[in-house]
A = this chain, B = another copy of it.
């Protein structure tokens, strides 16, 4: 039989079976084909999609945002200009996240270095890491 059962893709993506059905309900993956006995059968490629979702979630994207990210490639109907604008807005979002994380990492690295000896930990301020950033913008 061509295709994977739900437990196979769930296992392959490292998530639960119920979560796969949940994502289908939420529109994050397309409803798959069904066997004559009504079992879902998935193409291999859905494992990739599910892994993407898992990783993106770990990066602080909500399911709604992930849906938007995924739709950037799958919506040939949408106006090019609109897609382009959405894409660029996502790129900016991601750039902001990268800058924040980079700053945080630098602070932790200097913390790691400076506390190697015996300086008091409380002198190494991680708080400043995200402070000097991009203002009071939303989110």
Taking beta carbons and an 8 Å cutoff, which residues of A are in contact with B?
14, 45, 48-49, 51-52, 54-61, 69-70, 72-76, 78, 80, 83-84, 87-88, 90-91, 94-95, 97-98, 100-102, 104-105, 108-109, 111-112, 115-116, 118, 120-122, 124-131, 133, 136, 138-139
- Other 17 A-B pairs with CB < 8 A, given A56-B104, A72-B111: A14-B138, A48-B127, A49-B127, A52-B126, A52-B129, A52-B130, A55-B100, A55-B133, A56-B130, A57-B60, A59-B97, A59-B100, A59-B101, A69-B126, A72-B126, A80-B115, A80-B121
A60 in complex: contacting residue of B59, B84, B87, B105, CB < 8 Å = B59
